[in-house]
Amino acid sequence: MQDEPTPIELTRAVADFLRSDITPLISGHQAFKLRVAVNILDLVTRQLAQEAGSDAAELERLRALLGADGTVTELNRTLAERIAKGDVDLATPGLAEHLWATTMAKLAVDQPNYASYKRELGRDG
Amino acid sequence: MIEAELSRSVQRWLPGATGVTGAAKLSGGASQETWRFDVTHPDGVIGAILRRSPKGYGAAPTRAAGLAAEAQLMQLAFEAGVPSPRVMHVLTPEDDLGTGFIMQRIEGETIARKILRDQEYAAARPLLARQIGSVLAGLHKLPQDKLPELRSRSATQEISEFERDYRSLNWPKPVFELALRWLRDHDPGPSTETTLVHGDFRNGNLIIGADGIRAVLDWELAHLGDPMEDLGWVCVNSWRFGEIDKPVGGFGSREELFAGYEAAGRKCDPARVKFWEVMGTLRWGIMCGGMMQRFREGPDHSMERAMIGRRASETEIDLLRLLAPRGG
């Protein structure tokens, strides 16, 4: 077991420093790049906080959907192949729900401000 | 130093021009650059734009029409009354500027979010969906016998091409697989007519002023194909920049787009438009993957490119909203 602070705490500290202390000092193209950098750190922080939970839930759904066992990466590949072959489609019970849940979990990390995501989140609530 | 070459160039082909000032690079990767500059002339300063591949970068990427074709298309569009900059000069070897062309600079805004939010464009915004329809109709009516040589692509060929691009990424995505299946199942077959297709007509590639559309830019993906492709692409959610209930670039409705198109004497096929919107959404998603790959393999190891890889999930949610919508 690694020591603390946790990666989430460390990443957040760096993001906060760049946002509060460095952003006011920089302008032009470098300011744009800095904003991208801060966005990346925020994304990493969200992923560190959410990935274990969303991967476990995804794996559970994949096992039920495919009747197979493996890692989340392996089963994701298997699902992709079965859709490509036409063995699984939107008429397959659970597929649409699985894809929606998986995609929502990705957006929660990648782009929580994306308008389509916010609209669909409202539907979940 | 580019000013010296531009200066010599304009003096050769523009009577009265004495030189250039204020050259500044607006954008550019390794293979293609855009510069702005002002031509000094006794009748007054002339704003100009240079689009070029620097020396040693002659070859265009596979899907691109090439700068010479782009210049020809913009000039044709200009002559036909489709909003477009006038092409002033196509570069020759003696210009010593690489390959490309110089065009008249048109003032206005291209940044989509500004066009969608700034007060300056408030009066123009409600008119733009219909105007886009009429501009696209004009573009699709450009005389085919005058077009440069362009690649020709049917829907079926495009699906295969995107599938190949996607598989080469080795990036298994069940939602993309679902979209590929849907596209094959809904392939509308060959279009009854083949026209010039702009290929990247969207909010972000238009110069907008308070009066509406002033110019259509970025003709590099122009090809021959189904005209409904342009109508579908302009509706892809990624180009609505948050205004998701206004499918046409965040400006207005499909009905307005179709009305503008049909008022200019051309017919719409809404089922084909929907097909191309799904195709376009997947296309942008796969392009995001391509950018991630280029980031990994270099030479562009930039943060921006890396982050575009994380925008593929935006196209996944948009594909699900199109193919497996939830609730009402």
pLDDT at B5 over 90: yes
Encoded amino acid at B299, one letter: P
A90/B307 touch (CB, cutoff 8 Å), yes or no: no
**d(C-alpha B176, C-alpha A83), whole Å:** 10
Q: Average pLDDT, stretch B21-49? A: 89
Please check the confidence at residue B109 and state whether its pLDDT lies above 90.
Answer: yes
Q: If you average pLDDT over residues B33-49, what whole number do you get?
A: 95
Answer yes or no: are the C-beta atoms of B179 and B163 closer than 8 Å.
Answer: no
Examine the pLDDT at B58 and tell me if it is beyond 60. Answer: no
Q: Residue B59 above 50 pLDDT?
A: no
B20-104 belongs to CATH 3.30.200: yes
Tell me the average pLDDT across A87-112: 97
Position B30 scores a pLDDT of 58
pLDDT value of residue B62: 59
Please give the pLDDT value at position B328: 59
Q: Which chain A residues have a beta carbon less than 8 Å from that of B176?
A: 80
Is B313 at the interface with chain A, CB within 8 A? yes
- State mean pLDDT over A70-92: 97
A123 pLDDT above the threshold of 80: yes
Q: Which residues of A45-76 are buried (b: 16+ CB within 10 A; e: fewer)?
A: bbbbbeeeebeeebbebbeebbeeeeebeebb
Q: Is the pLDDT of residue B63 over 90?
A: no
What is the rounded average pLDDT of the residues B32-59? 86
Q: B94 exposed, middle or buried (CB, 10 Å; 0-12, 13-18, 19+)?
A: exposed
B217, pLDDT greater than 90: yes
pTM confidence score: 0.93
Residue of chain A nearest B170, judged by CA positions: A77
On the question of pLDDT at B302 being above 70, the answer is yes
Of the two residues B327 and B82, the one the predictor is more confident about is: B82
Q: For residue B309, what pLDDT is reported?
A: 93
Choose among A40, A83, A104: nearest Cβ to B174. Answer: A83
B32 — pLDDT class (breaks 50, 70, 90): confident
Bigger pLDDT: B299 or A56?
A56
The share of chain B scoring above pLDDT 90, in percent, equals: 84
Residue B297 pLDDT level (bands cut at 50, 70, 90): confident
Six token digits for residue B312: 């593929």
The stretch A71-89 carries a mean pLDDT of 97
pLDDT at A53 over 50: yes
Mean pLDDT within B204-224? 94
When pLDDT is averaged across residues B182-200 and rounded to a whole number, the result is 95
Note whether B244 contacts A115, CB cutoff 8 Å: yes
Mutate to test the interface with B, among A41, A97, A99, A123 (most CBs of B within 10 A): A99
| Domain limits, chain B | 20-104, 112-323
Structure token pair of residue B253: 């409705």
> pLDDT at residue B107 above 90?
yes
- Of residues B327 and B140, the one with the higher pLDDT is B140
Please state the ipTM of this predicted complex: 0.96
pLDDT of residue B327 exceeding 80, the answer is no
The β-bridge partners of B37 are B48
Q: Which CATH code for domain B112-323?
A: 3.90.1200.10
- Residues of B with Cβ-Cβ distance to A107 under 8 angstroms: 313-314, 317
pLDDT band of B201, cuts 50, 70, 90: very high
Structure confidence at residue B28 (pLDDT): 63
Whether A56 has a pLDDT exceeding 90, the answer reads: yes
> Residue A125's pLDDT band (boundaries 50, 70, 90)?
low
B306 in A contact zone (CB under 8 Å) = yes
Distance from CA of A11 to the nearest CA of B (A): 16
Judge residue B224's burial from the number of C-beta atoms within 10 Å of its C-beta, 0-12 exposed, 13-18 middle, 19 or more buried. middle
Nearest-Cα distance to chain A for B260, in Å, is 27
B303 vs A contacts (CB less than 8 Å): 33, 36-37, 40
Which of B178, B236, B308, B318 has the most A C-beta neighbours within 10 Å, making it the best mutation to test the interface with A? B178
Identify the band that residue A92 occupies on the pLDDT scale cut at 50, 70 and 90.
very high
User: Are the C-beta atoms of B67 and B100 separated by less than 8 Å?
Assistant: yes
pLDDT at residue B101 greater than cutoff 80: yes
Cβ–Cβ contact B321 with A under 8 A: yes
pLDDT at B12 over 70: yes
Which residues of chain B are within 8 Å of residue A99 when distances are taken between CB atoms? 174-175, 178, 320, 324
What is the mean pLDDT of the segment spanning B86-98? 93
**Strand, helix or coil at A46?**
helix
Would you call B303 and A116 a contact, using CB atoms and an 8 Å cutoff?
Answer: no
Q: Does B177 touch chain A (CB under 8 A)?
A: yes
What is the arithmetic mean of pLDDT over B73-98?
94
What is the rounded average pLDDT for all residues in chain A? 96
A36 interfaces chain B, CB cutoff of 8 Å:
yes
B82: Cβ–Cβ under 8 A, 6 or more apart, which residues?
Answer: B135, B138, B139, B142, B216
Give residue A95's pLDDT.
98
| Inter-chain CB proximity B313 and A111 less than 8 Å | yes
pLDDT tens digit sequence for A3-40 = 999 999 999 999 999 999 999 999 988 999 999 999 99
| B177 → closest Cβ in A40, A80, A106 | A80
B222 contact partners, CB below 8 Å, separation of at least 6? B65, B69, B70, B73, B150, B196, B197, B198, B199
